[in-house]
Chain A
Amino acid sequence: NAGVTQTPKFQVLKTGQSMTLQCAQDMNHEYMSWYRQDPGMGLRLIHYSVGAGITDQGEVPNGYNVSRSTTEDFPLRLLSAAPSQTSVYFCASSKDDRDSPLHFGNGTRLTVT
């Protein structure tokens, strides 16, 4: 069972570069989300989606874009990377946005120099 798959696992960017973090799930989950995890700050919600074609902002959306063209995929785009975006990024999905636990991917460790 693949579950939630994130790529790449590691990435180093220079300030100003752009990139896309990929996230795919094979559980037919409607709800998908992106979090960043920084030391001492827990997991902070960046963007989320309750279904294909629908996205919304979370707690820390600035500097990130998302789209949800299919149920399976939810890519996160960094338009112009900044050192403040150095973090570990987790994609997660659940059956719906109500009472279903989130299933997490293994994370992408991003460093912006």
Chain B
Amino acid sequence: EDKVVQSPLSLVVHEGDTVTLNCSYEVTNFRSLLWYKQEKKAPTFLFMLTSSGIEKKSGRLSSILDKKELFSILNITATQTGDSAIYLCAFNDYKLSFGAGTTVTVRA
């Protein structure tokens, strides 16, 4: 059965810290892996990864995929209180399946 596991489930950091979120997956027909950020309402798209070893960056956020070891990480550097959210990882095998998410709390 295809599945996505995210770790940790939650963490609390202080502003300026660096955060690393993990996503491991077991899928039959992997097409892509996506990261979303969810604050109070709808998840918003961060990254889509299809190739191993190629880092995607957007400001202080970056992500990389390892298709051999079947995992991805999302890094957030110099965290700010606005980074507090649930971060969701999902894989695409013609329909998107999500992990349970990691709740990040950034304290001032």
Cβ–Cβ < 8 Å partners of A33 in chain B = 95-96
Cβ of B6 to closest chain A Cβ, rounded Å: 8
> In chain A, what residue has the closest Cβ to B32?
A99
**Which chain A residues in 20-46 approach chain B with CB under 8 Å?**
33, 35, 40-45
Is there contact, CB below 8 Å, between B41 and A106?
Answer: yes
Write the B82-107 contact mask toward A (1 if CB under 8 angstroms, else 0): 00000010101011111111000000
Cβ of B27 to closest chain A Cβ, rounded Å: 14
Cβ–Cβ < 8 Å partners of A4 in chain B = 42
Is A74 an interface residue when CB atoms closer than 8 A count as contact? Answer: no
Is there contact, CB below 8 Å, between A104 and B42?
Answer: yes
Cβ–Cβ < 8 Å partners of B100 in chain A = 40-42
Interface residues on B, range: 20 to 34
Cβ–Cβ < 8 Å partners of B95 in chain A = 33, 45, 48, 58, 97
**Which chain A residues in 90-113 approach chain B with CB under 8 Å?**
90, 97-99, 101-107
Cβ of B75 to closest chain A Cβ, rounded Å: 20
> In chain A, what residue has the closest Cβ to B92?
A99
**Which chain B residues in 10-61 approach chain A with CB under 8 Å?**
31-32, 34, 41-45, 48, 50
CA–CA, A99 to B9, complex, Å?
A: 27
CA–CA, A29 to B48, complex, Å?
A: 18
Interface of B with A (CB < 8 Å)?
A: 4, 6, 9, 31-32, 34, 41-45, 48, 50, 88, 90, 92, 94-101
